[in-house]
């Protein structure tokens, strides 16, 4: 089990995710007859993988009260009683009786789990549960089918194989050979390697039709004499397990690199923009488009594409040590913020520090980062699913809010030995004469075994509306530290 994941979901009682749902439908008879439920997804005994989230679908088969109906969903591990976050994605509709959600299995440790669903009305209630398993992502392997000399180079044929789940079809293969990205539909790649090169790193990511993916890395030893006979097993160099980070940097000027968003979905910030024309070949594959985000101070923007916000863009880039795989890394972005509008403290919806649900216990984990001169720095991570609110007390020096960025997403990518992500926190200015915004960030990548990289910085700004122009830009407070 990943060290950080094991800390991230502490042993707690079942999380009660309660959603008050008001519907109008056929009245329930005045009885104590239990409500009948059917869990449509996941199925009993189903195997889901940590490389993609899983859809939850529950159907109410009985008439339910026209007043309030509460739905409670929880997923717990059978042996440790640890929970997995669930996001509700739909509400009950009249005569429909179906509620859906997303099980964040990509945040879970492998094991056996149970989904428990409970529906309550004024007069009755019902419950149902199913057992299922969460497995690590399927392994992906690269083998050498053929190698032959061509002038001053070797022509090699790489072949991919994977023990992929039969529930999904493989969509595409994204190869990175010595950081050169090549996408194929078939599991074969013909590549030319210059003679005289000692070794070549091959990273492969396989994408399925359901949005899941799995990655693997290999090192090929280039022959400096006669080509060995097939099947070429001796030409592969083992890559040590684990994750280590060698360098990290934070860019705060210019524009970010390319990131990918699904067609029809909005960008992560109104300051970001779709790349036009799209790059060829596309780095995003099918049904997605490439976009970039501006870095540094961002002011309100006038028509024709108005943005009534002030913001600050930054891009984090971490380079892994040789032999490390991004899939083995602990990674994330921590934050603290204080935001005032017209001298009044307001909640910052981009900072997920505390849960709003009264029946959800605060989840915490511990992270230890190395410091120069020896020793380590212990941080307490607060995991919630709602915005920080002004009535909560000030965080201590060791406490940080988790701002996600712990896995690949539309704003974070793994590219061979490189992990990078972009963030554009911002505050609305419409109808306000003054905004006072202060954000503190800490980015980290690595593992206990291989070592961490981390960078910490604070930006603050006082923006004042005056004749339609803003005040001075964000300034870096305490500088940018990347020990």
Enumerate the H helices of 133-241 as residue ranges. none
Q: How far apart are CA 236 and CA 323, in angstroms?
A: 13
Over the stretch 207-218, which tens digit does the pLDDT of each residue have? Answer: 877 667 777 778
Over the stretch 238-276, which tens digit does the pLDDT of each residue have? Answer: 665 568 888 999 999 999 999 999 998 999 999 999 999
More confident residue, 378 or 396: 378
- Give, in order, the Cα–Cα distances in Å from 186 to each of 67, 147, 171, 415: 55, 19, 9, 20
| Cβ-Cβ contacts under 8 Å for 406 (sequence gap 6 or more) | 107, 330, 331, 332
Q: According to the model, what pLDDT value does residue 125 have?
A: 82
Lowest mean pLDDT among 23-37, 83-97, 110-124, 466-480: 23-37
Over the stretch 90-117, which tens digit does the pLDDT of each residue have? Answer: 666 555 678 787 776 655 667 788 888 8
All domains in the chain, ordered by first residue? 3-135 (2.60.40.10), 140-237 (2.60.40.10), 245-481 (no CATH)
Which residue in 178, 240, 195, 138 sits closest to 417, CA to CA? 178
- DSSP-derived pairing of the beta strands 344-346 and 412-415: unpaired
Residue where the block lists tokens 């439920």? 37
Average pLDDT for residues 222-226, to the nearest whole number? 83
Q: How far apart are CA 290 and CA 258, in angstroms?
A: 6
Model pTM score: 0.54
| Cβ-Cβ contacts under 8 Å for 466 (sequence gap 6 or more) | none
Instruction: Reply yes or no on whether the pLDDT at 388 is more than 90.
Output: no
- Sign of the alpha-carbon dihedral angle for 408, 411, 415, 418: negative
Task: Give residue 385's pLDDT band: very low, low, confident or very high (50, 70, 90).
Answer: very low
Instruction: Give the bridge partners for 368, in sequence order.
Output: 378
Lowest mean pLDDT among 1-15, 285-299, 386-400, 414-428: 1-15
Q: According to the model, what pLDDT value does residue 471 have?
A: 63
Instruction: Reply yes or no on whether the pLDDT at 386 is more than 70.
Output: no
Lowest mean pLDDT among 8-17, 30-39, 88-97, 321-330: 8-17
More confident residue, 374 or 303: 303
Q: According to the model, what pLDDT value does residue 16 have?
A: 28
Helix (H, G, I), strand (E, B) or coil at 263: coil
Mean of per-residue pLDDT scores for the chain: 76
Task: Give residue 23's pLDDT band: very low, low, confident or very high (50, 70, 90).
Answer: very low
Q: What angle do CA 52, 53, 56 make, to 5 degrees?
A: 145
Q: According to the model, what pLDDT value does residue 312 have?
A: 94
Q: According to the model, what pLDDT value does residue 267 have?
A: 93
């Amino acid at each position: 089990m990943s060290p950080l994941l094991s800390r991230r979901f502490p042993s707690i009682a079942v999380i009660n995710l309660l959603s008050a749902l008001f519907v109008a439908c056929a009245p329930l008879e005045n009885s104590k007859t239990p409500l009948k439920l059917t869990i449509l997804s996941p199925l009993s005994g189903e195997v889901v993988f940590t490389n993609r989230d899983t859809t939850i679908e529950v159907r109410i088969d009985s008439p339910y009260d026209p007043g309030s109906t509460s739905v409670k969903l929880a997923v717990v591990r059978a042996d440790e009683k640890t929970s997995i976050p669930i996001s509700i994605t739909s509400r009950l509709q009249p005569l429909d009786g179906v509620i859906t959600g997303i099980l964040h299995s990509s945040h879970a440790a492998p094991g056996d789990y149970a989904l428990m669903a409970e529906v309550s009305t004024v007069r009755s209630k019902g419950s149902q549960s199913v057992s299922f398993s969460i497995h690590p992502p399927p392994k992906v392997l690269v083998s050498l089918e053929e190698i032959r000399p061509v002038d001053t180079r070797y022509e090699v044929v790489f072949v991919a194989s994977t023990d992929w789940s039969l529930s999904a079809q493989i969509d595409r293969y994204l190869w990175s050979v010595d950081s050169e990205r090549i996408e194929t539909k078939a599991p074969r790649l013909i590549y030319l390697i210059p003679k005289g090169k000692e070794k070549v790193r091959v990273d492969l990511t396989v994408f399925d039709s359901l949005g899941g993916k799995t990655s693997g890395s290999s090192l090929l030893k280039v022959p400096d004499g006669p080509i060995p006979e097939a099947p070429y097993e001796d030409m592969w160099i083992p890559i040590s397990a684990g994750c280590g980070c060698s360098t990290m940097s934070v860019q705060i000027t210019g524009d970010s690199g390319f990131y990918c968003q699904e067609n029809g979905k909005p960008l992560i910030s109104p300051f970001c923009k779709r790349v036009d024309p799209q790059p060829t070949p596309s780095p995003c594959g099918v049904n997605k488009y490439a976009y970039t985000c501006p870095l540094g101070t961002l002011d309100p923007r006038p028509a024709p594409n108005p943005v009534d916000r002030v913001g600050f863009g930054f891009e984090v880039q971490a380079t892994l040590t040789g032999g490390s795989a991004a899939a083995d890394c602990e990674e994330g972005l921590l934050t603290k913020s204080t935001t005032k509008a017209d001298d009044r403290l307001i909640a910052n919806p981009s900072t997920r520090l505390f849960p709003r649900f009264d029946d959800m216990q605060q989840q915490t984990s511990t992270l230890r980062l190395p410091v120069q001169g020896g020793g380590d720095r212990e941080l307490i991570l607060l995991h919630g699913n709602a915005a920080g609110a002004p009535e909560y007390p000030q965080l201590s020096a060791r406490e940080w809010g988790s701002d996600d960025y712990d896995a690949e997403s539309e704003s974070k990518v793994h590219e061979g030995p490189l992990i990078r992500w972009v963030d554009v926190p911002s505050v609305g200015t419409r109808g306000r004469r003054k905004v006072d915004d202060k954000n503190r960030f800490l980015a980290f990548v690595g593992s206990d075994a291989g070592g961490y990289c981390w960078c910490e910085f604070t930006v603050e700004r006082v923006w004042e509306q005056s004749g339609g122009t803003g005040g001075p830009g964000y300034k870096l407070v305490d500088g940018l530290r990347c020990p």
